[in-house]
Amino acid sequence: MTDTFHSSTPIYSQLAERINKQILRGELKPGDKLPSVREMGIQVNVNPNTVQRTYRELEGMMIVESRRGQGTFVTENQSILNDMRERLKREEISQFVVSMHDMGYADEEIEAGLQKFLANRKGDDDE
């Protein structure tokens, strides 16, 4: 969690993304408590005001919920987490496709290339 942030994109959204990924990887489980705003700030070297904004943002997306006087928790609503999982996948793929298009690849090429890549990687992993 100590890797640095890109200086030219909003820190609050980079931090939100990090937390989302932690949830996807299972490092943060549904119902887990997030560190307090200040603790999180210290962990990642970020202004507590910015952390506050990240938590607000995540709360707006219902990924976390704050309980009065107790802190902020990862939601236990599995369908919201599934939605997030789907959404992030879509976003990542769309970025990939856009940059492939930029370089002039056609849809068929991308598809075939991806299949071949994954098949090869699977072979590597089996060894």
Partner 1 sequence: MINLEQVTKRYMNKIALQNINLELTKGKIIGLVGENGSGKSTTLKLIAGLIHPSKGTITVNGEAVDRRIASQVSYLSELDEYYGFYNVRQTINYFAEQFSDFNLQKADEIRAFMNLDPNAKLKQLSKGNRGRLKIVLTLAREVPIILMDEPLSGLDPMVRDSIVKGLISFIDLENQVVVITTHEIKEIETILDEVIAIKDGSIIGHHHVEQLRIEQNMGIVEWMTSMYENSR
For partner 1, the closer of residues 11 and 34 by Cβ is 11
Name residues contacting partner 1, limited to 18-47 (CB under 8 A): 38, 41-42, 44-47
Spatial distance between the Cα atoms of 16 and 54, rounded to a whole number of angstroms:
6
Buried b (16+ CB within 10 A) or exposed e, 21-48: ebbeeeebeeeeebeebeebbeebebee
Using CB under 8 A as the binding rule, whether residue 70 contacts partner 1 is answered as: no
Q: Which of 20, 23, 53, 63 lies at the binding interface for partner 1 (CB under 8 A)?
A: 53
Using CB under 8 A as the binding rule, whether residue 55 contacts partner 1 is answered as: no
Q: What is the DSSP letter of 38?
A: H
Residues forming contacts to partner 1 in the complex (CB under 8 A) are 5-12, 38, 41-42, 44-50, 53
